[in-house]
Amino acid sequence: MAGRNQDFLDLSGIRPPRAQAELLNEHDFPILKGISPINLRILNSASRVMHVSKGVEMLHEGDTPHDLYFVSQGELSIGRRIGNELKLLGRLRAGDVYGEFGALRKRSRTASVFTEQPSRIIRVDLDAVHQVLEADPDFRQRLNDLLRLRMLDSFLFTHPVFRGLPAETRAALARELPTEFIPRGERIFSQGDAPKGIYLILSGEVEVRYLNRAGAEVLLEIRRDSDMLGELAKNHGKELAYSAVASSDVDLLKMDQESMRILEKHHAATFKKLSTFIDKRAEHTIRRLKENPI
Protein backbone atom coordinates (compact mmCIF):
# COMPACT_ATOMS: atom_id res chain seq x y z
CA MET A 1 0.00 0.00 0.00
CA ALA A 2 2.83 2.37 0.84
CA GLY A 3 4.34 1.73 -2.57
CA ARG A 4 1.05 2.56 -4.24
CA ASN A 5 0.80 5.87 -2.39
CA GLN A 6 4.37 6.70 -3.42
CA ASP A 7 3.54 6.01 -7.08
CA PHE A 8 0.44 8.18 -6.82
CA LEU A 9 2.43 11.11 -5.47
CA ASP A 10 5.04 10.78 -8.19
CA LEU A 11 2.47 10.50 -10.99
CA SER A 12 0.38 13.39 -9.69
CA GLY A 13 3.29 15.81 -10.03
CA ILE A 14 3.09 16.74 -6.36
CA ARG A 15 6.39 15.03 -5.80
CA PRO A 16 9.32 15.32 -8.26
CA PRO A 17 11.34 12.29 -9.38
CA ARG A 18 13.85 11.10 -6.76
CA ALA A 19 16.85 11.93 -8.92
CA GLN A 20 15.77 15.58 -9.03
CA ALA A 21 14.57 16.04 -5.46
CA GLU A 22 17.84 17.43 -4.10
CA LEU A 23 18.91 19.67 -6.97
CA LEU A 24 18.02 22.69 -4.87
CA ASN A 25 18.41 22.79 -1.10
CA GLU A 26 19.13 25.41 1.55
CA HIS A 27 22.52 23.90 2.42
CA ASP A 28 23.94 24.54 -1.07
CA PHE A 29 21.97 27.75 -1.72
CA PRO A 30 21.61 30.04 1.33
CA ILE A 31 18.93 32.13 -0.37
CA LEU A 32 16.60 29.14 0.09
CA LYS A 33 17.07 29.08 3.87
CA GLY A 34 13.81 28.39 5.69
CA ILE A 35 11.82 27.69 2.54
CA SER A 36 9.01 25.18 3.13
CA PRO A 37 9.28 21.60 1.79
CA ILE A 38 6.32 22.11 -0.55
CA ASN A 39 7.80 25.30 -2.05
CA LEU A 40 11.19 23.64 -2.41
CA ARG A 41 9.42 20.77 -4.15
CA ILE A 42 7.76 23.20 -6.57
CA LEU A 43 11.14 24.72 -7.49
CA ASN A 44 12.79 21.32 -7.90
CA SER A 45 9.98 20.01 -10.08
CA ALA A 46 10.57 22.94 -12.47
CA SER A 47 14.39 22.61 -12.46
CA ARG A 48 16.86 21.15 -14.88
CA VAL A 49 20.63 20.82 -14.77
CA MET A 50 22.78 22.48 -17.42
CA HIS A 51 26.41 21.47 -17.91
CA VAL A 52 27.93 24.53 -19.55
CA SER A 53 31.34 24.88 -21.17
CA LYS A 54 33.68 27.82 -20.66
CA GLY A 55 33.00 31.04 -22.57
CA VAL A 56 29.21 30.75 -23.00
CA GLU A 57 27.14 33.95 -22.75
CA MET A 58 24.35 32.60 -20.55
CA LEU A 59 22.41 35.86 -20.46
CA HIS A 60 22.69 38.87 -22.75
CA GLU A 61 22.06 42.43 -21.61
CA GLY A 62 18.59 43.38 -22.84
CA ASP A 63 17.27 39.81 -23.14
CA THR A 64 13.68 39.05 -22.11
CA PRO A 65 13.54 37.21 -18.75
CA HIS A 66 12.84 33.46 -18.82
CA ASP A 67 14.21 31.69 -15.74
CA LEU A 68 16.06 31.89 -12.42
CA TYR A 69 19.53 30.32 -12.32
CA PHE A 70 21.38 28.67 -9.40
CA VAL A 71 25.15 28.11 -9.72
CA SER A 72 25.98 24.60 -8.49
CA GLN A 73 29.60 24.44 -9.71
CA GLY A 74 32.01 26.67 -11.62
CA GLU A 75 32.43 30.42 -11.98
CA LEU A 76 30.67 33.08 -14.05
CA SER A 77 31.25 36.78 -14.67
CA ILE A 78 28.69 39.61 -14.82
CA GLY A 79 29.38 42.37 -17.34
CA ARG A 80 27.76 45.57 -18.58
CA ARG A 81 28.49 47.53 -21.72
CA ILE A 82 29.86 51.05 -21.38
CA GLY A 83 30.07 52.44 -24.88
CA ASN A 84 31.56 49.69 -27.02
CA GLU A 85 33.42 48.03 -24.15
CA LEU A 86 32.18 45.22 -21.89
CA LYS A 87 33.20 45.94 -18.29
CA LEU A 88 33.39 43.28 -15.58
CA LEU A 89 30.92 44.04 -12.79
CA GLY A 90 31.23 40.96 -10.59
CA ARG A 91 31.59 37.18 -10.35
CA LEU A 92 29.27 34.32 -9.46
CA ARG A 93 30.34 31.08 -7.79
CA ALA A 94 28.76 27.95 -6.33
CA GLY A 95 25.81 28.88 -4.12
CA ASP A 96 25.00 32.09 -6.00
CA VAL A 97 21.81 32.83 -7.92
CA TYR A 98 21.21 35.13 -10.88
CA GLY A 99 18.29 36.22 -13.06
CA GLU A 100 16.57 37.93 -10.11
CA PHE A 101 15.84 41.14 -12.03
CA GLY A 102 13.79 39.29 -14.62
CA ALA A 103 12.07 37.21 -11.95
CA LEU A 104 11.02 40.18 -9.80
CA ARG A 105 10.62 42.96 -12.35
CA LYS A 106 9.58 40.87 -15.40
CA ARG A 107 11.65 43.18 -17.58
CA SER A 108 14.67 42.83 -19.84
CA ARG A 109 17.96 41.97 -18.17
CA THR A 110 20.39 44.74 -17.31
CA ALA A 111 23.66 42.79 -17.58
CA SER A 112 25.30 39.89 -19.40
CA VAL A 113 26.50 36.70 -17.70
CA PHE A 114 29.36 34.52 -19.03
CA THR A 115 30.87 31.24 -17.86
CA GLU A 116 34.52 31.71 -16.88
CA GLN A 117 35.04 27.94 -16.54
CA PRO A 118 32.98 24.79 -17.11
CA SER A 119 29.96 25.17 -14.84
CA ARG A 120 26.95 23.28 -13.54
CA ILE A 121 23.86 25.48 -13.43
CA ILE A 122 20.36 24.68 -12.25
CA ARG A 123 17.75 26.49 -14.32
CA VAL A 124 14.29 27.01 -12.79
CA ASP A 125 11.22 27.95 -14.82
CA LEU A 126 9.91 31.42 -13.93
CA ASP A 127 6.30 30.27 -13.54
CA ALA A 128 7.37 28.05 -10.63
CA VAL A 129 9.52 30.85 -9.19
CA HIS A 130 6.57 33.27 -9.27
CA GLN A 131 4.35 30.69 -7.60
CA VAL A 132 6.82 30.35 -4.72
CA LEU A 133 7.39 34.11 -4.50
CA GLU A 134 3.65 34.58 -3.98
CA ALA A 135 3.53 31.94 -1.24
CA ASP A 136 6.78 32.74 0.60
CA PRO A 137 7.31 36.43 1.57
CA ASP A 138 10.66 35.64 3.23
CA PHE A 139 12.07 34.15 0.04
CA ARG A 140 10.74 37.14 -1.91
CA GLN A 141 12.43 39.51 0.55
CA ARG A 142 15.78 37.73 0.26
CA LEU A 143 15.59 37.84 -3.52
CA ASN A 144 14.59 41.51 -3.35
CA ASP A 145 17.56 42.25 -1.08
CA LEU A 146 19.86 40.60 -3.63
CA LEU A 147 18.23 42.57 -6.45
CA ARG A 148 18.60 45.87 -4.58
CA LEU A 149 22.28 45.30 -3.85
CA ARG A 150 23.18 44.21 -7.38
CA MET A 151 21.05 46.86 -9.08
CA LEU A 152 22.60 49.66 -7.04
CA ASP A 153 26.11 48.29 -7.54
CA SER A 154 25.49 48.09 -11.29
CA PHE A 155 24.11 51.63 -11.36
CA LEU A 156 27.12 53.04 -9.52
CA PHE A 157 29.41 51.06 -11.82
CA THR A 158 27.98 52.55 -15.03
CA HIS A 159 26.67 56.03 -14.13
CA PRO A 160 28.95 58.84 -15.36
CA VAL A 161 29.03 60.46 -11.91
CA PHE A 162 29.87 57.32 -9.94
CA ARG A 163 31.75 54.98 -12.27
CA GLY A 164 35.16 56.23 -11.16
CA LEU A 165 34.59 54.97 -7.64
CA PRO A 166 37.01 52.34 -6.31
CA ALA A 167 35.37 48.89 -6.19
CA GLU A 168 35.42 48.71 -2.39
CA THR A 169 33.82 52.18 -2.08
CA ARG A 170 31.15 51.25 -4.61
CA ALA A 171 30.38 48.06 -2.68
CA ALA A 172 30.14 49.98 0.61
CA LEU A 173 27.76 52.54 -0.89
CA ALA A 174 25.61 49.78 -2.40
CA ARG A 175 25.19 48.35 1.09
CA GLU A 176 24.38 51.68 2.76
CA LEU A 177 22.32 53.76 0.30
CA PRO A 178 18.53 53.20 0.35
CA THR A 179 16.43 52.37 -2.70
CA GLU A 180 12.68 52.58 -3.28
CA PHE A 181 10.35 50.60 -5.54
CA ILE A 182 7.47 52.61 -7.05
CA PRO A 183 4.66 50.71 -8.85
CA ARG A 184 3.45 51.88 -12.24
CA GLY A 185 0.97 54.76 -12.03
CA GLU A 186 2.02 55.95 -8.58
CA ARG A 187 2.89 59.60 -8.05
CA ILE A 188 6.42 59.97 -6.68
CA PHE A 189 5.93 63.62 -5.75
CA SER A 190 3.70 66.51 -6.76
CA GLN A 191 4.39 70.02 -7.97
CA GLY A 192 4.47 72.31 -4.95
CA ASP A 193 5.64 69.62 -2.50
CA ALA A 194 8.52 70.49 -0.22
CA PRO A 195 11.80 69.01 -1.56
CA LYS A 196 13.11 65.98 0.35
CA GLY A 197 16.14 65.22 -1.78
CA ILE A 198 16.72 64.13 -5.33
CA TYR A 199 15.93 60.77 -6.90
CA LEU A 200 18.16 58.86 -9.30
CA ILE A 201 16.35 56.41 -11.60
CA LEU A 202 17.85 52.93 -11.33
CA SER A 203 15.32 51.32 -13.68
CA GLY A 204 12.03 52.24 -15.30
CA GLU A 205 10.38 55.33 -16.76
CA VAL A 206 8.96 58.43 -15.08
CA GLU A 207 6.70 61.13 -16.53
CA VAL A 208 7.64 64.69 -15.63
CA ARG A 209 4.40 66.72 -15.54
CA TYR A 210 3.88 70.46 -15.18
CA LEU A 211 0.63 72.02 -13.97
CA ASN A 212 0.04 75.24 -15.93
CA ARG A 213 -2.01 78.26 -14.87
CA ALA A 214 -5.06 76.94 -16.68
CA GLY A 215 -4.98 73.89 -14.41
CA ALA A 216 -3.91 71.45 -17.15
CA GLU A 217 -1.18 68.95 -16.32
CA VAL A 218 1.25 68.95 -19.24
CA LEU A 219 3.69 66.11 -19.95
CA LEU A 220 7.04 67.87 -20.12
CA GLU A 221 9.27 64.84 -20.74
CA ILE A 222 9.85 61.18 -19.88
CA ARG A 223 12.95 60.31 -17.85
CA ARG A 224 14.58 56.89 -17.84
CA ASP A 225 17.47 54.87 -16.38
CA SER A 226 20.31 56.95 -14.84
CA ASP A 227 18.38 60.24 -15.02
CA MET A 228 17.20 62.17 -11.98
CA LEU A 229 14.12 63.76 -10.44
CA GLY A 230 13.52 66.56 -7.96
CA GLU A 231 16.43 68.71 -9.06
CA LEU A 232 14.43 71.96 -9.45
CA ALA A 233 12.41 73.90 -6.87
CA LYS A 234 10.87 77.36 -6.91
CA ASN A 235 9.84 79.90 -4.25
CA HIS A 236 13.37 80.01 -2.83
CA GLY A 237 13.73 76.25 -2.99
CA LYS A 238 10.59 75.52 -0.94
CA GLU A 239 8.35 74.00 -3.67
CA LEU A 240 9.15 71.41 -6.29
CA ALA A 241 8.71 72.79 -9.79
CA TYR A 242 6.99 69.76 -11.33
CA SER A 243 5.30 66.43 -10.57
CA ALA A 244 6.78 62.98 -11.19
CA VAL A 245 4.62 59.91 -11.95
CA ALA A 246 5.88 56.36 -12.56
CA SER A 247 4.90 55.33 -16.09
CA SER A 248 6.33 51.84 -15.45
CA ASP A 249 7.47 50.05 -12.33
CA VAL A 250 10.40 52.15 -11.15
CA ASP A 251 13.39 51.63 -8.86
CA LEU A 252 14.84 54.79 -7.34
CA LEU A 253 17.84 55.82 -5.29
CA LYS A 254 16.84 58.68 -3.01
CA MET A 255 19.68 61.07 -2.26
CA ASP A 256 18.43 62.96 0.78
CA GLN A 257 20.66 64.73 3.31
CA GLU A 258 21.65 61.47 5.00
CA SER A 259 22.52 59.79 1.69
CA MET A 260 24.54 62.83 0.63
CA ARG A 261 26.41 62.66 3.93
CA ILE A 262 27.20 58.99 3.34
CA LEU A 263 28.48 59.74 -0.17
CA GLU A 264 30.62 62.66 0.98
CA LYS A 265 32.10 60.54 3.78
CA HIS A 266 33.05 57.73 1.40
CA HIS A 267 34.20 59.79 -1.61
CA ALA A 268 34.20 63.61 -1.47
CA ALA A 269 35.22 64.00 -5.14
CA THR A 270 32.16 62.04 -6.32
CA PHE A 271 29.95 64.09 -3.99
CA LYS A 272 31.15 67.23 -5.81
CA LYS A 273 30.57 65.61 -9.22
CA LEU A 274 27.01 64.75 -8.22
CA SER A 275 26.39 68.36 -7.11
CA THR A 276 27.55 69.59 -10.53
CA PHE A 277 25.37 66.96 -12.25
CA ILE A 278 22.32 68.17 -10.30
CA ASP A 279 22.97 71.79 -11.28
CA LYS A 280 23.26 70.89 -14.98
CA ARG A 281 20.05 68.87 -14.84
CA ALA A 282 18.26 71.80 -13.21
CA GLU A 283 19.46 74.10 -15.99
CA HIS A 284 18.05 71.68 -18.56
CA THR A 285 14.68 71.61 -16.79
CA ILE A 286 14.55 75.41 -16.66
CA ARG A 287 15.15 75.50 -20.43
CA ARG A 288 12.35 72.97 -21.02
CA LEU A 289 9.94 75.02 -18.93
CA LYS A 290 10.86 78.20 -20.83
CA GLU A 291 10.32 76.37 -24.14
CA ASN A 292 6.82 75.48 -22.95
CA PRO A 293 5.50 78.67 -21.33
CA ILE A 294 2.37 78.46 -19.25
Q: Check: CB of residue 189 under 8 Å from CB of residue 206.
A: no
Segment 116-137, tens digit of pLDDT = 999 999 999 999 999 999 999 9
Sheet holding 75-82, edge to edge: 57-59, 112-115, 75-82, 85-93
Cα gap 35→226, rounded to integer Å:
35
Segment 201-225, tens digit of pLDDT = 999 999 999 988 888 889 999 999 8
**3-state DSSP call for residue 153?**
helix
Q: Check: CB of residue 232 under 8 Å from CB of residue 282.
A: yes
Q: Which of 253, 257, 230 is nearest to 241 (CA)?
A: 230
- Write down the pLDDT at residue 292: 75
Q: What is the mean pLDDT of the chain?
A: 89
Cα gap 120→200, rounded to integer Å:
37
Segment 141-154, tens digit of pLDDT = 999 999 999 999 98
- Domains, the chain, ranges and CATH? 16-158 (2.60.120.10), 174-291 (2.60.120.10)
Show Cβ contacts of residue 283 under 8 Å, excluding neighbours closer than 6 positions: none
- Write down the pLDDT at residue 16: 45
Q: In this structure, how many other beta carbons lie within 10 angstroms of the beta carbon of residue 185?
A: 10
The one-letter amino acid code at 202 reads L
Show Cβ contacts of residue 202 under 8 Å, excluding neighbours closer than 6 positions: 151, 152, 155, 179, 225, 251, 252, 253
Task: Please compute Rg for the chain using Cα positions.
Answer: 23
Q: Mean of the pLDDT values across residues 169-189?
A: 94
Q: Check: CB of residue 184 under 8 Å from CB of residue 247.
A: yes
Query: What's the pLDDT band for 81 if we cut at 50, 70, 90?
Result: confident
Segment 275-289, tens digit of pLDDT = 999 999 999 999 998
- Write down the pLDDT at residue 293: 67
Segment 30-61, tens digit of pLDDT = 999 999 999 999 999 999 999 999 999 999 88
